[in-house]
Each structure stands twice: as C-alpha cells, then as structure tokens.
Amino acid sequence: MLKKNDMESIKIEIVNPKAKRLIKNLADMDLIRIKNEKVKSDFEKLLGKLRTRSEKVPSLEEISLEVESVRKARYEK
C-alpha cells in the first residue's frame, strides 16, 4: 500500500471520451494530478538522432535553399 507521500505514475491511453471525464472528476477531487507532456513524434526523434551524429547542424537558410533546389528540380521535369 502506498503511503501518503508516495506517488506512482502511469501512462493511460484514453479510448472513450467518457473516460476522460471520469479522470477529470478524479483530479477535481484531488485524488490524482494530470500532467500534460509533449510527446515527441517519430520525426522529431529521428531528427534528434541524426543531429547528434552530425558535426554541424544545418541552418534554417541552408535547409530552405535545399528545399527550393529540390522543388525546382521536381517542377522542371
């Protein structure tokens, strides 16, 4: 049994909107605390992984130039 100051965290996936209402009710009664966490997308995780392997992170300008170059090549076909 958990003591008063012991906390346990769990991750819950809500499948039914009614469950969200129940969870909010539990929070209103101070039985639980809801924390919203930003979940990284798979794309963000991949970018982070690639950037740790790179010596130099491209600037926004370099990325924009590359995108424009690819678009130009695509539209010339």
Task: Decide if pLDDT at 6 tops 90.
Answer: no
Which pLDDT belongs to residue 21?
94
pTM for this predicted structure: 0.43
Cα distances from 58 to residues 48, 51, 55, 61, 72, in angstroms, run: 13, 9, 10, 8, 20
Write down the domain spans for the chain.
42-75
* Residues 43, 60: Cα–Cα separation, whole Å: 17
Residues in the chain: 77
pLDDT digits (tens, 9 = 90+) for 30-55: 999 998 877 778 888 887 887 777 77
